[in-house]
């Protein structure tokens, strides 16, 4: 088996092929019993090809990538551990899930059977806010040289959210879960000595989460005092609109 550079007519040996970096080749072999790609892979570890190359006439481009550090493209990535990168992608998914839950709540309270406009507005605002948080993490991932990997967003656990008090209680638990995830992510950054990531999480999220949890806790206690029915209706009108 011999391979030659597609843009040249000079043949080179497979040993020479193995030493080339970022070169495109057309591979030929008379061994019709096995694919040329398999033979090339046996000789060079980092080969990509879209064709198996049967019948000895593979014309697909084959890329040989050198493993030498001097051949790598410059990267902005520095002191960014793969566990931190994976954690950021996980947090993106959680923030989008939280946005999804709040969107479901907002839709529920806008329905004709519930009709609490204050709650609709409050939870719609919360949904938008969580989506903005996800976008911040997307930007951070790219700034640190990581790769954004979006995952499936799990649907909310319910379609109806009961009374306003029930929904606020669910929202409180959701915010506490998000807060714990942020604390865990901060811990990962600390474990891998990444003060820049720690500082970024602290400045952009941790204080906000404490405030959000306190706000929802206050709403919950007040709703327990006013009770369901007319009490919730008045609270929705007076305390949640433009909150």
Structure token pair of residue 135: 């976008």
Do 74 and 145 touch, CB atoms closer than 8 A?
no
CA 235 → CA 62, 118, 216, 218, 231, distances in Å?
A: 68, 9, 14, 12, 6
List phi, psi (to 5°) of 4: -130, 150
Query: Residue 126 class from Cβ within 10 Å (0-12 exposed, 13-18 middle, 19+ buried)?
Result: buried
173: Cβ–Cβ under 8 A, 6 or more apart, which residues? Answer: none
Do 193 and 79 touch, CB atoms closer than 8 A?
yes
Task: Detail the residues annotated as belonging to a binding site for Fe cation.
Answer: 95, 130, 133, 175, 209
Task: Detail the residues annotated as belonging to a binding site.
Answer: 95, 130, 133, 175, 209
Do 92 and 85 touch, CB atoms closer than 8 A?
no
């Amino acid at each position: 088996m011999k391979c030659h550079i597609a843009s040249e007519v000079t043949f080179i040996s497979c040993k020479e092929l193995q030493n080339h970096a970022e070169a495109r080749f057309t591979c030929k072999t008379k061994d019709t019993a096995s694919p040329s790609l398999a033979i090339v892979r046996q000789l060079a570890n980092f080969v990509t090809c879209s064709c198996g190359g049967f019948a000895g006439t593979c014309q697909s481009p084959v890329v040989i990538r050198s493993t030498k550090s001097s051949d790598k493209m410059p990267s902005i990535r520095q002191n960014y551990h793969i566990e931190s990168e994976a954690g950021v992608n996980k947090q993106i998914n959680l923030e989008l899930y939280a946005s999804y839950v709040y969107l479901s709540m907002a839709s529920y309270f806008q329905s004709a059977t519930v009709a609490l406009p204050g709650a609709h507005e409050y939870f719609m605002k919360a949904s938008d806010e969580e989506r903005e948080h996800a976008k911040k993490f997307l930007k951070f991932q790219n700034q640190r040289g990581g790769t954004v990997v979006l995952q499936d967003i799990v649907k909310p656990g319910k379609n109806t959210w009961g009374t306003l008090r029930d929904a606020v209680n669910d929202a409180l638990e959701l915010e506490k879960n998000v807060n714990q995830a942020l604390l865990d992510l901060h811990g990962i950054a600390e474990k891998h000595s990444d003060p820049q990531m720690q500082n970024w999480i602290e400045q952009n999220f941790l204080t906000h989460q404490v405030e959000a949890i306190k706000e929802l806790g206050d709403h919950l206690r007040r709703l327990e005092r006013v009770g369901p029915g007319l009490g919730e209706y008045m609270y929705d009108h007076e305390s949640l609109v433009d909150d």
